[in-house]
Amino acid sequence: MEKEKEVEQLDMGLKEPKLNIFRKWKYKIEFFFAGLRANSLFTAPFLWFSSTLAVAFILVQNYYYANFINQLPKEIPLFAIAKNPELKLVDKDFLLGVLIFSILLTLISFFIATKTYYRFKFMSIFTMTNLVLTLLLITISYIKIFSSYIF
């Protein structure tokens, strides 16, 4: 059997209407907002409140790190319970790692809470509560470290 020849399309020089570009963008924006409405993070008040607190704690940590990191000594006593004096001191750049850990923990918790909200509502609430308490502890530690050298 012979292969069928493909029929060549006629090139008539027609251009796509310019309004189609706007319609495509309008569809993408409407689809994005429909996804936000369906997302449990924006419909559950507790998840909304806890995510707002989590972002606020991260912003406080970022503010202290960005504005006051230069005023800290090269090494700071972060692990006060360590028996060895060399293990008590860490480089001040370790605080950036703590900030990055806070951001990663928040993103992972958001993902878990939004994906499991309708199936395991208690697990989502538990995850976000633990996130807020953990970030509160880290933020208080941040403020304590910076305030002992700045204020």
pLDDT score for 94: 86
pLDDT over threshold 80, residue 35? no
Q: What is the pTM of this model?
A: 0.67
CA 9 to chain centre: 49
What burial letters (b/e) apply to 90-113, b meaning 16+ CB within 10 Å?
eebeebeebbeebeebbeebbebb
pLDDT score for 38: 60
Q: What percent of the chain has pLDDT over 90?
A: 21
Tokens of 126: 């538990």
Once rounded to an integer, what is the mean pLDDT over residues 34-45?
A: 65
Window from 29-43, 51-65, 111-125 with minimum mean pLDDT: 29-43
Q: Domain map of the chain by residue range?
A: 44-150
